[in-house]
Structure 1
Amino acid sequence: MIARDIEAALRHLLRGFPIVTLTGPRQSGKTTLARVVFADRPYVSLEDPDVRQMVLEDPRSFLERHPNGAVLDEVQRAPQLLSYLQTRVDADGRMGLFLLTGSQQFGLMSGVTQSLAGRTAFVELLPFSIHELERAGVRPASLDAMLFEGGYPPLYDRSLTPRTWLSAYVTAYVERDVRQLLKIQDLEAFQRFVRLCAGRSGQILNLSSLATDCGITHNTAKAWISVLEASYILFQLRPHHANFSKRLVKSPKLYFYDTGLLCWLLGVREPGQLATHPLRGSIFETLIVSELVKSCFNRGERATLHFWRDSNGNEVDIIADAGRKLMPIEIKSGQTLNRDFFTGLERWMALAGDHAISPALVYGGTDAHAHKGISVFGWHAAGQVLEGAAVRPHAC
């Protein structure tokens, strides 16, 4: 097993909460991690129809069989159990009794927040980070290979090619799970919608344009985006509110969590196609933003990450809140440093004045150094960027 950075945060939370809920996309390694952390506890999968029926018919008896707790996998399949869990942990009083996992965030989160408020901490596990792959000695050698393969664990745990596995993943999980959640009848329209979203990763989200291109209503597009977010396929990055006397763009930007999945949806079938791909810059930006998100999640925190763009097109890719300061991060896919790479950061820092702290540039090369107070990171070190400032944490 490839060690996960989030394990330390997960074990820490289990010392302070009777229940910890582990969520994330399907096949991100939740079950494997849960069984490692709770190696001495029973493991129960609620995907098993027989087990699920037993739980639903007699939840009290089921919990009595596990006096010292257990891993309850895919717990959203039996939401009625959550109320009984509340009674059980309140009566017991011990910490770290149950570790719950689930993939469909809508079904899981609504039940957990209603029944287990104050009794559970939340941890979000995404696919492997670059740091995790590098530590295990399995990181793809080149940037294009990293973009193409992404970080889903089965690609590194088994003898599978991205072409084989990602095709099956899109069919089995993205299309099946999301369709069931929304009861979508027109599969062709939804497939087209997901691919159109892929073409907009790293760009400002215009829902009206997206809906028109897909031939659906604005409200349908909004609902489909929401469920893709809940399934950890993509996420929205909100604009920062600091205007510095400038008129700001108010629409969010769209990003996929995994560039391997993104490349598959864009029709990229081998790493060599990325060198001249028209969306290479957006794919690279998606990788780096996703790495920044993972670095926060893996500490058991949710950092406040935004982007900044004014009506004149001046932009900084990431603004991270660091207490009362703001940390600007620029992302450039070029492998050779260029003077123009620093222009946006320098312009923003002049506007921000004393509000700015620890500016950083992440680029497609591998060298690390400083340039006029700006820390420069190679793509493989993106997960270290936020260590340069006290980024304000939000517990998951």
Structure 2
Amino acid sequence: MNIVYISLPKYLNDALFSSIANEAVFHRNIYLDTNEEPKKHLFSTVHKMGFDDLVELDKYLIESIDYYIHHDPLKNIIKVLKLKQRLANNIDSLLKELKPDAIITTSDMGGVATRLINDWAYKNKVSFFVIQPCFIDTPGYSLKQKITASIRYILCNKLLNLPVERHQFVYGCERSSNYLLLWNDDFASQIKNKRVIDHTLIVGNHVFDRCIDNKVKITVGKPTVLLCTQPYSRLIDMGLLKPGQDVLLRQELVDVVTQNPLIKFIVKVHPSENKESYFEMFSGLTNCEIIGKEKPFTEVLKRCDVQVSMASYTSFEAVIEGIPIILMHPDFLSFFDQFGSDVELRTNDIGDLNLAINTCLQPWYRKSFAASREIYIQKKLAFFGDSAEMVVHVIKELSKCKKRKLWQ
């Protein structure tokens, strides 16, 4: 079986893809890159991840289409349509050569390249799988936003045959023939669209199979606390934070490092943020280390005893790894709540945060967290420890059905 993996945001995709590829060792695993990383470096990385082949799309075409779409697309419509057709032809030639039995990605709702590949899969009866990469909550959209998006969808996708706009506001399968692979029933219950649910399967999260034997460290010596940042300014644009709260949250991170000189802090900068700005923020503080994308997050987690974020997916990873978590700014959680009071502490201000860190370092709390973590894992992750085997089995069997036209 030939399996093609479409790269989207690498920090979400690569661990998922690698865990599947390492399980599907008797199949041909092909990494289809659409990013800007130099091929020489990427080829070495991809082979270490367990893939057999690396292929690339024409990134100039992808970048050009994206540029013109966001800069007066009507004025440049002829140019955009020509570029789109060139990209579609390239995809057609490439995929005919690769002969995929299955195509895997983490979203079918964004990017012209992904949508064109999805079109190709639909026309050629190749199974297309969307694997849950992280939490699937989406922020609420206003009526104006929905109307605007609908107009853009009709104009671009329908009238101009330019597949760049979404037509739904829930995470899942935009095309009903795609299959959505989720971690557990708890996530499936968040999807209200019956058409999406009809093509949803529960397979667990194969990235965390390696954590099956992880235990919570009860006694902590010299503590290390991990602070995971988020793109706070962008969260204001999304309506999840109020103007000015981004400044307060960043200052709270500086304050907690300043007020706890005996604790080692690691600041893990979000992939979409500028790491250099954090060097300036924490300038002069010797108990702080700034880390960006250069180190795998799992390696960073292993060095830490407590993890702090604002309801980030990184906190989910920390819980599964066996590390107590603290969630800053509970107002944010009124929209987004993927955890639960038994596996987290929530804070409103610097005083709360200092107290929460001290609590998370106490043996009595860590014992309680260990018990709550077991229950939480059962709720969130099906097939824990065997998920990679399950997802490869599902992909293989559904791809067979697709070819035989038994599942449409």
TM range (shorter): 0.3 to 0.5
TM-score scaled by length of structure 2 = 0.33
TM-score scaled by length of structure 1 = 0.34
